[in-house]
Chain A
Amino acid sequence: MKSHMVSLNILPIVRKEFRQIKRDKRILSILLFIPALMLLMFGYALNFDVKHTSMAVYDEDRSSTSREFVEQFFISEYFTKVQTLESKAEINNLLDAEQARVVLVIPSSFTKDIQRGRAASVQVIVDGANSNAASTVLGYINAIIQQYSVKVMTESFVRMGQQNITMPIDFEPRVWYNPELESAKFLVPGLIAFILMVTAVVSTAMAIVRERELGTMEQLMVSPIKPIELILGKTIPYTLISLFATVTVLFLGYILFDVSIKGSIFLLSLVTFIFFIGSLGMGLLISTMVETQQLAFMIAAIVSMLPTFILSGFVFPIRNMPIIIQGITYLLPARYFLVVLRAIILKGAGLSAFWDQALILAIYAFFMISISSLRMRKILR
């Protein structure tokens, strides 16, 4: 009998919240299209691949050998030649004005050194401002120069009469899980966590605080609705929207970026649900602590969106952070969720690989829901 009563009372609130969301066409469309928008943005614009780096060349040697050497850089798609310099003085301005990211300087002794069997040294000046791109570029340059060096070395051995020069090691690096190192595969799982944070934490917190700010909460409190019914009624619409968002990301990720779920869909749904419950709890908790939407938004952004973006391993690997900040990341549910997401979606791993992470998420969800309902009850009374 009692449970029957509960469900009867929830429905009007769900309907009211849905009507409110529906009336606000923009919020609805934003909530529904965020996933698609973000996926497109991340998939196409956020790219760790470094290609077409602008390179200028200052060739003091001007020989066929140096030209052949320079060619090595531009047969790949990694570098684009922007300019051939006439003097060393131009280098400064070129890098300052970001017209080139890399300058290759070939000394006049280049050919002579190679012919005489000496080590020919070239100079590479790299704009290091964007450290990530610069490290990758340094790797490419190193590889190209080394390859050329091996070629020069072999030729010089042949000239000396040695035959049968083979490199002693047959090095075969392989990449698992994401063989072409596509950034989209790295980012899609994280996007699910990020979007759930936005819809669950931020929207829930703001939807409830809004009633408080506009004074309609008091009206609801004097009605015969129980706190639990009010909470459920307010959160169910956002649950459905979040569900829709998750499915959209997975679906579009598959269609556009070929990210398929390698592991169990059931496990994925289960862990996503647990994470979602924890996030809802956090949204509720924030709504009990503040009175204005502005503040609710600020706090929700600082404790949920920003850390999920920066501290969860979504974009920046946790391993490289300072120890103290690594400690902080243990407090973020998104950190655990991301490990699970990547394990299931990209690696196809089973529960044995991430049960500990899932357990922490469950404990977190339990705590968040308990604390927030306790506080909520206090406020509603």
Chain B
Amino acid sequence: MFGISFFAPVFQLIILGYAATFDVSKIPMAVCDFDHSSSSRSLIQKFTSTEYFIVEGYFEKTSEIDHQLDDGHASIALVIPRGFEKKLGSGHPAPLQLIADGTETSTAGIGLSYASIIVSNYAQNILLESLMKKGSVTTPARVSAEFRVWYNPELKSRNFMVPGVLGLLLMVMTMLLTSLAIVKEKELGTLEQLVVTPIKPYQLIIGKLAPFFLIGVIDVILVVFFASLIFSLPVKGGVLLLLLLSLIFLMTTLGLGLFISTISRTQQQAMMTAIFFFMLPMMFFSGFVFPIENMPTIIQYVSYVIPLRYYFVIVRGLFLKGVGLDILWPQALALFIFGSVILSMSVLRFQKKLE
């Protein structure tokens, strides 16, 4: 049990850091080129020269594209009809077809927008060329954008997920394990034995919470260490501040763990309650993967009472943005209030149950 408490964080960090990625690249594309012209080839080349698409195969029949998409071998299919090149120069729009497999929503959405940009660039260039040929010497006006991505310039999912894992881990390791440990004593009847000894309730609570508090602290240090070692993701905002704010966050998770132990009789119950009524909703509604802004309004309001929401802003602020307390104080304050309320209420409830 002891070993697993320290192995699990590192394991989860590595798995989540490497695997939990939405980065879209190398979308397998099936190509049906009926035109076989230099224009069609150069368009295909426009697709393959980006890192977003990779040609999975060339096909001569549209029916084969059905199979490719059905089997999941290709996620996107490009169909260039016969006469594509001829039409390009004729002044009539040349039809071009693209089929995306919508089952993978995120890949399809991003893939489609990349494809549209590629095609639209290609079309603009052809238009320009043909107009230049007709004798326009001056170039037309255009609008272009210069993009700057802050905090995570390479747009790596990893940089977003790894700090988030810290919040998740602390919740699992402290909330879940605390409740299981206390309920186990209940289940085995040893809690009653402890109650009849001269140990005072508060001593009992401190004794039961302290190990998990310590595990939480060690987990923070482990994550900070491995995040910078493996993922080269240092805490720009300062490790000490992170540790301090994590301690405040631990008040909420330990408090909830204690609370769950007061409402559960068996370990199975405690585990199910912790996972399904606390961990999963907290994880999903706090912006761990999906931005809160995109959720329905009611859920957005619900998210304000989830401590994890504030902690995510803090860890991402400290890891990615390198901001300090001057920006993060509202979150820190919210966590502190939640922590004090949850912990003291749980302690009161636990003491009452003991009596």
Contact = CB atoms under 8 A, between A and B. Distances in A.
A315 B284 CA distance: 12
Contacts of A217: none
A126 B147 CA distance: 7
Contacts of A292: 1, 184
Contacts of B272: 26-27, 30-31
Nearest to A300: B271
B22 A96 contact: no
Given A168-B123, A311-B15, A320-B24, A145 B144 contact: yes
Contacts of B21: 316, 320-321
A98 B151 CA distance: 12
Contact of A152 (B142, B148, B316): B142
A294 B24 contact: no
Contacts of B70: 343, 347, 349, 353
Given A132-B22, A171-B116, A297 B123 contact: no
Contacts of B100: 173-176
Contacts of B11: 302
A228 interface: no
A173 B181 CA distance: 55
Contact of A319 (B26, B120, B268): B26
Interface string B31-43: 0000000000000
Interface string A43-71: 01111111111100000000000000100
By secondary structure, the B interface counts as: helix
B1 A294 contact: yes
B291 A138 contact: no
B142 A122 contact: no
A218 interface: no
Interface in B308-327: 313, 316-317, 320-321, 323, 327
A129 B320 contact: yes
Nearest to B263: A26
B105 A186 contact: yes
A143 interface: yes
Contacts of A181: 102, 105, 108-109
A165 B92 CA distance: 10
B221 interface: no
B66 to A, nearest CB: 9
A124 B147 contact: yes
Interface string B102-128: 111111111011111101111110110
Contact of B271 (A129, A139, A146, A297): A297
B150 A169 contact: no
Interface residues of B, number: 119
Contact of B98 (A172, A207, A307): A172
A346 B23 CA distance: 23
B247 to A, nearest CB: 23
A170 interface: yes
Given A45-B285, A168-B93, A343-B70, A206 B103 contact: no
Interface in A282-324: 292-295, 297-298, 302, 306-307, 310-311, 315-317, 319-322, 324
Q: What bracket does the count of chain A residues touching chain B fall in?
A: 35 or more
Interface string B203-216: 00000000000000
Interface string B272-304: 110011001100110001110111100100000
B53 to A, nearest CB: 12
B289 A315 contact: yes
B223 to A, nearest CB: 16
Contact of A156 (B112, B141, B299): B141
Given A98-B313, A145-B143, A339-B72, A48 B109 contact: yes
Given A34-B276, A93-B327, A126-B150, 15 more contacts: A24-B269, A44-B296, A96-B317, A101-B293, A116-B141, A117-B140, A150-B120, A160-B136, A166-B92, A169-B122, A173-B116, A175-B112, A181-B109, A185-B102, A322-B18
16 contacts: A45-B299, A95-B150, A129-B160, A133-B291, A152-B140, A168-B87, A168-B126, A168-B130, A169-B95, A169-B122, A171-B120, A176-B101, A210-B267, A298-B8, A306-B15, A320-B26
